[in-house]
Amino acid sequence: MERVKFLVKAPEAFVLTLLSGRGFWLKNIKRTGGEISFFAKQNEALKIEECLNKANVKFIRQGDFGVKTGAESLLKRFGFLIGFALGLALIALYSLTVFGADIHGLEIVEAKSVHAVLKNEGINFPHLRLKKDADKLSLKIVELSGISHASVSVNGSRLVINVTEELPYEAPKDTQTPISVIAQFSGVISKIITVQGTPLVKVGDTVKKGDILIAPYIKSPDGTEVPLRAIGEVYALVWHQKHLYYPDTVIRQVRTGKTEVKTATNILKLNYLPKTSFVNYDYEQHTRQVLAIIPFSIIKTTFYETTAKETQFDFNKEKDLIVAKETDLLISSVPKHLRQGAEGKTWHIAKRVDNATRLSIYYELNQRICTAVQVSAPHS
Amino acid sequence: MSFFNDTVLKLGLPHDNFVGGDKVSIFSGKGAFIEGHKGVFSVSEEEIVIKLKKEKVYISGNGLKITEINASEIYIIGKISGILRGQ
């Protein structure tokens, strides 16, 4: 409903009686000092003005309100309309623009050859996207040697290229040349299964990395050695270990208390670190997204000046955390396929040495230790 | 049948005498609706006096305000503590 706001300087009772007596509708009546304000229907505004004038009442018609009036006044704001249209045009332009390419599925073929195809097709970023481009591009990428399929699509402002490579050529495997099974790790043999060949170790033997576990021959009844490929599985208790030293004093970068704040706008979500006058520093960055559609953000970077300072290191205070972290690192340093299904246990020893603490972490694992390796010359 | 006419019948009042008459309703002592007024006699935060056909209605309370008015209806809000009809 279109409404008009009036501000009247007269006693409230008089104004309300006068206007309601004439049948006018008054709403949102507010009293401020000696004045009252109210809203009236727009089609009654002229009659209200006439009525107030006749009664010699001072009033101000403050403005028109409502959807229609608002729309009309908005249409008169050319600057706003031009800005709004420009904004819409920019959003449309952004949504139709591709700012970079993400290539997935490449292992053998180099990414630069796909980029070269994009360049040859005249696609330099930022690039206005067209559906025809995507179809044509897939065909051109498939023409590259080593690629069997390519699909090109646009995801947001990125060109997404999914590539399937041709299977690499594999030479036929030699399964006949006699080779030994050797130890990949040092340990104590816990289990040995010989499928083919002559085992040179038994359960309980200590082996070093590189020792031959199963030799690539068998003895014939007449005592001659017949060369063949050694095949088998050998398991051993292996002790993975690491030794770390923690000095009692350490040099650490500590904040001096001086800070420097730099604020910058960022449009394309690029990593940006402004320059600082500090030589040694650490920093914190806070990003505030301004608009949801356009990737326009404000980055506030706070630099903290730091200086090197010798500080005491209390190993015992942080021991639990260090041991847990280093044990996890030690376990994860062992290839996953060796750990899967294998029994393992860990322990540590912390010992004081000169002005430092020596931490030794052990990981005992009953694991597969063998690998098949060709000896320099076939055994005869 | 309207709420007011229905109420008039339930009260056993002669129907013809009350058609077009004034009605005053109070809502939990926080708002009032007056129908059939003939103007506003005085307005203050403590008391609002409304003219009726033959009498006046004195609404007393705190923070009283007329929020809406038209030819026949008045809406009042505020803490209403008393209503008095008289000359």
On whether both A206 and A317 belong to a single domain, the answer is yes
Residue A89 lies in a domain: no
Interval B9-23: pLDDT, tens:
788 877 666 666 788
DSSP H or E run through B53: none
**Domain's final residue, options A65, A87, A114:** A65
pLDDT for position A379: 43
Any bridge partners for residue A285, and if so which? Answer: A301
Range of the domain at A349: 173-248+313-380
pLDDT tens profile A105-161 = 888 888 888 888 888 888 887 777 655 677 788 888 888 888 888 888 888 778 888
Given a cut of 60, whether residue A269 has pLDDT beyond it is no
Q: Kindly state whether A31 is in contact with chain B, defined as any CB-CB distance less than 8 angstroms.
A: yes
Q: How far apart are CA B53 and CA B39, in angstroms?
A: 10
Q: What is the pLDDT of residue B33?
A: 93
Interval A291-325: pLDDT, tens:
666 667 788 899 999 999 888 888 888 899 999 99
Q: Please provide the average confidence, as pLDDT, over all residues in chain A.
A: 86
Predicted pLDDT at A95: 80
Same domain (yes/no): A241, A318: yes
User: Are residues A56 and A204 located together in one domain of the fold?
Assistant: no
CA-nearest residue to A24 within chain B is B70
pTM, two decimals, is 0.40
What residues of B are in the A interface, CB distance below 8 Å?
37-43, 49, 51, 65-71, 74
Q: Specify the amino acid at residue B61.
A: G
pLDDT of res. A131: 59
Buried b (16+ CB within 10 A) or exposed e, A204-241: eeebeeeebbbbbbeeeeeeeeebbbbbbebbbbbebe
**CA of A86, closest CA in chain B: separation in Å?**
44
Is residue A255 domain-shared with residue A379, that is, in the same domain? no
